[in-house]
Amino acid sequence: MECHKAPEGAKGSIKHYKQNISVLVSPKVCGSCHNVEKEQFTKSHHAKAAKILGSLDNVLAEVVEGKASMALNGASPAAVSGCWQCHGSEVKVLPNGDLDPATWPNTGIGRMNPDGSVGACSACHLRHEFAVEQVRQPETCGKCHLGPDHPQKEIYEESKHGINYAANKHKMNLASPKWIPGEDYDAAPTCATCHMSATRTLPITHDIGDRISWTLRPAISEKIDAKDLKDGKNVKHWEDRRADMQSVCQSCHAKPMIANFYTQFDSLVEMYNDKFAKPGAALMKALRADKLITDVEFDEKIEWTWYLLWHHEGRRARHGAAMNGPDYTHWHGTFEVAERFYTKMVPEYLEILDKAEKAGKKEAVERAKAVLDEILKRPEHVWFTGNESPEVKAARKKAIEEFSKRYSN
Amino acid sequence: MECHKAPEGAKGSIKHYKQNISVLVSPKVCGSCHNVEKEQFTKSHHAKAAKILGSLDNVLAEVVEGKASMALNGASPAAVSGCWQCHGSEVKVLPNGDLDPATWPNTGIGRMNPDGSVGACSACHLRHEFAVEQVRQPETCGKCHLGPDHPQKEIYEESKHGINYAANKHKMNLASPKWIPGEDYDAAPTCATCHMSATRTLPITHDIGDRISWTLRPAISEKIDAKDLKDGKNVKHWEDRRADMQSVCQSCHAKPMIANFYTQFDSLVEMYNDKFAKPGAALMKALRADKLITDVEFDEKIEWTWYLLWHHEGRRARHGAAMNGPDYTHWHGTFEVAERFYTKMVPEYLEILDKAEKAGKKEAVERAKAVLDEILKRPEHVWFTGNESPEVKAARKKAIEEFSKRYSN
Amino acid sequence: MECHKAPEGAKGSIKHYKQNISVLVSPKVCGSCHNVEKEQFTKSHHAKAAKILGSLDNVLAEVVEGKASMALNGASPAAVSGCWQCHGSEVKVLPNGDLDPATWPNTGIGRMNPDGSVGACSACHLRHEFAVEQVRQPETCGKCHLGPDHPQKEIYEESKHGINYAANKHKMNLASPKWIPGEDYDAAPTCATCHMSATRTLPITHDIGDRISWTLRPAISEKIDAKDLKDGKNVKHWEDRRADMQSVCQSCHAKPMIANFYTQFDSLVEMYNDKFAKPGAALMKALRADKLITDVEFDEKIEWTWYLLWHHEGRRARHGAAMNGPDYTHWHGTFEVAERFYTKMVPEYLEILDKAEKAGKKEAVERAKAVLDEILKRPEHVWFTGNESPEVKAARKKAIEEFSKRYSN
């Protein structure tokens, strides 16, 4: 049991059949044999997953949903059994040498280990098999990448990639050491194929963002290197990442299809950004600027509305388009984004202005109203107020008639 | 590569290793060998799936969620990456001979191809295996038939059919050429078994509605031939379709069970129709008749409410009952239908009347109020206003007491 | 066909190829060979599943969603195709000897059979294979244990247990007669492993609650023996049940991990109880006590709100923590519980008070307001009214800063 070996008396170690062992095997240990993988992982976005613990985002699990003092050792159970199980905890050793139950068991991908290393290889490489065929299967990524805010597993399963995988798993040669698409298998890719595994032209990588060109995480999407470039960091350019991903696509698809697919994907992301995300952010900014809502996060309904719009529904639309899951793009995505924007966000905004007006904040209300009015006058929103021009209506009617004529049988 | 062969200079064709090929292989090509299948498909409801492009339904993706001019070539990205990926696009060839990225890649089942044919065989028969064992698996249908508005895949997986399939997939003989239930397999049916595949008495069909007796798609369900009969068309009668489906059931089940099952299914559909769908439609009609809501679709909350009631939740209830998924029938179905009707639709209706009354539309309000009042006085709704008769309450109480007595241990 | 044999003329029996058979095979029949299993089942909570038919809970399917007289024979289709398919029906034989279609087909686990026995072995042991490898698979339990109100199947699939099962199903030795974890398989447990199957130290059981320590079903969770102990019944103590479950865990995990896991689980349940469930129940009680809402269930929005909070979202949080599905614990769980409590329950409560005040019920409103005020002043809710003390805010700010310093790279 080389990997578990711990010096006598080391913190967090226990006696196990006469040997002193560490119950926690950190990337530092794994890296003593697998250093390349450990280094790639350590500079990846995955390794930063637990940074959420110190961010304001954390207010949800710590304050709104739970309360730190309601559980053992000052942690909120909503964070312990929720957020941290994916993001990772800051593992603490109690004075008696035991691991703090608020922080362990935990195999969150960004776990902060007592030995100073970051990550948990066992987040994906499940004990004790550590089988390469297990970690290449989509269920592995589905430990975290599923659900209302990032349903990558569900989108994959709906996509033709996932359908072909389900039908042909037994032909996927999943235990092959090199596992090159086009050589070892050609039925379908899994998550690993596109984001991590080697191809005829690319090496394997444990830096999960290496082939990703957009970040679909924030309220408003930007190219994945945008923030780092702004911060003056020297990182792989998004075009190089995209070129690498497209080279993966070429293991099975021809270039015109790949190019057209990316045009469709980019268009959806930009449409979401321009029609809903930037306007939504502008509305929230207008309310905050004039103190029409409080500084406290999530105490007003519109804060939940906006959060659900971008963090849940807006992401689903973008992820759906990224991975070809039309049900997620549309019904779980843009359909719900539009419903929330028009039937919740706008009315709640107007209600806030109404109350503020009654409270005598006339100028603030005027400023905020102007922001909304400008948005709703844009061509993509003008239908909502019934102010589409007769020309636009006529053009749409004509297009429908011509379509009907072409396909009248 | 016979199937991809294209004449020199044909629109949409590209050079591929010195050959001129069409990247798009249409049913016209497939039909040159598989003409029976192509003909069955071409007259099916599946083949009409892209007709949605020219319908008013299209307003959602084109206008509400997106905007045509926000993407390439005048299409709305919400349609391109959403609706059209299942329904099919109208594939266009650009002046330079390339396929318009707004319209391709696309394998929607009702795709309108440049050669005038309709459909995409590769919607189900995934390239390049074209394996019969792939297309018989439920994941294939789950490319489109899943999600909030028609969760057939999820319902199947929950049903005993799906449970038995999951446990016995390896015994299903999925690659058998004839694949007759009761001969080649008996563990469970898949989607294909009941809707398409051959049985001891029925031939295989590519007309997906051939054995379906109800249409569960519209707001108010009717027998599947009702609209065609009304239009004077000569189509297969719903009773013949049902008889065929019941003959599939008989591959495994006895007649009394099948008859009772259909009684349960019909009862659920009729209850949904009578209690919620027809009343909901009547309320919307009353609002429109008196112009208490605008002509613009989806600009008022009640329009979303009604749409979600029938298009999402009401369908889930009906589909759940059709395929024996009680969780979908009840929790995703009638429970949500009832919640939306009583806690959203009725209050929003009253709020509209309230505003109209303040605006002086007294007579319109009276007419609309009468429509609601008549509905809420019906025996199935009278509980809501607290006007159940003492007799009804006493009868229910007595039934509960007697039940308790029978099962008191 | 020994199991189907029925005396000539027995109610519910039919002629089948010259033999008189009963279409319904009840636990009484199964028990003639499998008596131990039948006895364990009969005293289990599973066997009581149809008791819901005579309870007030039944008001949903019988009254709110449906109507008894809308279907055959006085049953509500929403119950027939919904609730009863999982809970079980009271099977009735019609005067002509046929089984009442309102009550059969039905394989709900608590089915009440014409021969007086309770249950349906075929709820899990699917005909006609009755294969032990089928019934040990998680899909079997997913016939009922899935969906918005108790997504055990989805939680399992997300958990590492489910991920390992998906990757290693073929190594699970599912058809082994004894099927002992650690001997016959070690890749992962299924539902059956932990709740029913034999281990090195425990016998197999068909009493599904035998190893469960909490009941996560009601609005406010309590230890699983609490109600029985209160009723003076002599039942297995929750600590003994937990000790048995922990002995199952020890088939694969070390004691410190198990102990810490239970600490995490208990903390989440207690946090949910204390922060949301008990306060929510207190609010509903206050409204009823002063008749600020009617006696009719589900005619007011706040009744749906409270029901969804505990019956759907609150259960998801608790089940998620019980089985290590962080997405369910957090995003489908505590996140939605908090959203519903703060943005729906509290505002709807205040709206009711507002209307009551206008109706002159001053004292009742004061009493109800005091209940809410006391709750919102508690340390775990004080953030919502913006009344967190400067000390608490400062402490949180300091913790974040220190965290950032520790992980600044």
Please tell me the predicted confidence (pLDDT) of residue B282.
98
Confidence of residue B166 (pLDDT cuts 50, 70, 90): very high
The mean-pLDDT minimum among A293-307, B38-52, B293-307, C318-332 falls in B38-52
Helices (H), A221-325: 226-230, 238-249, 255-272, 278-289, 301-307, 315-323
Contact B86 A403 (CB under 8 A): no
Question: Is C339 in the B-facing interface, judged by CB distances under 8 Å?
Answer: no
Does A271 lie at the interface with B, CB-CB under 8 angstroms? yes
| Residue-level pLDDT at C6 | 82
**Which residue type occupies A220?**
I
Answer yes or no: is pLDDT of B345 > 80: yes
Neighbours of chain A (3+ CB pairs under 8 A): B, C
Residue with more model confidence, A402 or A306: A306
Is the pLDDT reported for residue A191 higher than 70?
yes
Which residues in chain B touch residue C84, judged by CB atoms under 8 angstroms apart?
Answer: 326
Q: What integer pLDDT is reported at residue B42 of this predicted model? A: 94
* Tens-place pLDDT, residues A92-108: 999 988 999 999 999 99
Residue C231's contacts (CB-CB under 8 Å, 6 or more residues apart) are none
- Residues on chain A touching C167 (C-beta within 8 angstroms): 126, 131, 133-134, 137, 139-140
SS (H, E, C) chain C: CHHHECCCCCCCEEEECCEEEECCCCHHHHHCCCHHHHHHHHCCCHHHHHHHHHCHHHHHHHHHCCCHHHCHHHCCHHHHHHHHHHHCCECCECCCCCECCCCCCCCCCCCECCCCCECCHHHCCCCCCCCHHHHCCHHHHCCCCCCCCCCHHHHHHHCHHHHHHHHHHHHCCCCCCCCCECCCECCCCCHHHHHCCCCCCCCCCCCCCCCCCEECCCCCCEECCHHHHHCCCCCCCHHHHHHHHHHHHCCCCCHHHHHHHHHHHHHHHHHHHHHHHHHHHHHHHHHHHCCCCCCCCCCCHHHHHHHHHHHHHHHHHHHHHHHCCHHHHHHHHHHHHHHHHHHHHHHHHHHHHHHHHHCCCHHHHHHHHHHHHHHHCCCCCHHHHCCCCHHHHHHHHHHHHHHHHHCCC
Question: Would you state the pLDDT for residue A213?
Answer: 98
- Structure confidence by residue, pLDDT tens digits, C109-129: 999 999 999 999 999 999 877
Residue A268 and residue B78: Cβ atoms within 8 Å? yes
pTM score of the predicted model: 0.96
pLDDT per residue over C249-268, tens digit each? 999 999 999 999 999 999 99
Banded pLDDT at C180 (limits 50, 70, 90): very high
Percent of chain A with pLDDT over 90: 82
User: Nearest chain C Cα to B321, which residue?
Assistant: C81
Element (H, E) at B319: helix B315-323
Residue A72 pLDDT class (50, 70, 90 cuts): low
Structure confidence at residue C221 (pLDDT) = 98
Residue C62 contacts B, CB cutoff 8 Å: yes
> Does the pLDDT value for residue B60 go beyond 80?
yes
Task: Give the pLDDT of residue C18.
Answer: 80
Average of pLDDT values for A157-178?
96
Please give the Cα distance from C240 to A59 (Å, whole number): 38
Task: Measure the CA–CA gap between A218 and A383, rounded to whole angstroms.
Answer: 28
Residue C220 has pLDDT above 80, yes or no: yes
Inter-chain touch B386–C294, beta carbons under 8 Å: yes
Tell which A residues from 295 to 334 touch C, by Cβ distance under 8 Å: 296, 298-299, 301, 304
Q: How far is CA B310 from CA B269, B337, C409, in A?
A: 12, 8, 53
Segment among A156-160, A325-329, A396-400, C109-113 with least mean pLDDT? A396-400
Return the structure tokens found at A402. Answer: 């011509």
Q: Would you tell me which residues 104-133 of chain B have a C-beta closer than 8 angstroms to some C-beta of chain A?
A: 104-105, 107, 112, 126, 129, 131, 133
Q: Return the partners of chain C (3 or more C-beta pairs < 8 Å).
A: A, B
What's the pLDDT score for residue A57?
63
pLDDT of residue B340: 98
B139-178 residues touching A, CB cutoff 8 A: 139-140, 142-144, 146-149
Using pLDDT thresholds of 50, 70 and 90, give the confidence band for residue C56: low
Residues C32-51, mean pLDDT to the nearest whole number: 93
Residues of B with CB below 8 A from C99's CB?
Answer: 256, 260
Q: Do A267 and B60 touch (CB under 8 A)?
A: no
Q: What is the mean pLDDT of chain B?
A: 93
Quick: pLDDT tens for C1-11. Answer: 478 888 877 77
Tell me whether B400 touches chain C (CB under 8 Å): yes
Q: CB within 8 A of C376, min separation 6: which ones?
A: C346, C382, C384, C385
Answer yes or no: do B134 and A256 touch at CB < 8 A. no
DSSP designation for B93: B
Band of residue A147 on the pLDDT scale cut at 50, 70, 90: very high
Q: What is the ipTM of this complex?
A: 0.95
What is the mean pLDDT of the segment spanning B28-42?
94
Give the mean pLDDT of C366-392.
95
Mean pLDDT rounded to a whole number for chain A: 93
Residue C131, both tokens: 């294969």
Look at residue B399 in the predicted model and tell me its pLDDT: 81
- Determine the pLDDT at residue B53: 77
Q: Report which of residues C400 and C341 the model is more confident about.
A: C341
pLDDT grade, residue C408 (50/70/90)? low
What pLDDT is attached to residue A70?
65
CA–CA distance from C277 to each of A65, C212, C218, C310, C382 (Å)? Answer: 12, 21, 10, 7, 17
Both tokens assigned to B2: 């016979």
What 3-state class would DSSP assign to B14? Answer: strand
Look at C57 and A309; give whichever has higher pLDDT: A309
Q: pLDDT for A324-362, tens place per residue?
A: 999 999 999 999 999 999 999 999 999 999 999 999 999
User: Is it the case that residue B58 has pLDDT exceeding 70?
Assistant: yes
Give the closest-approach CA distance of A192 to chain B in angstroms: 20
Say whether pLDDT at C409 is over 70.
no
- Give the pLDDT score at A298: 96
Using pLDDT thresholds of 50, 70 and 90, give the confidence band for residue B147.
very high
Number of H helices, E strands in chain A: 21, 4
C-alpha span between A163 and B140 (Å, rounded): 6
**pLDDT more than 70, % of chain A:** 97
Average pLDDT over residues B186-191: 96
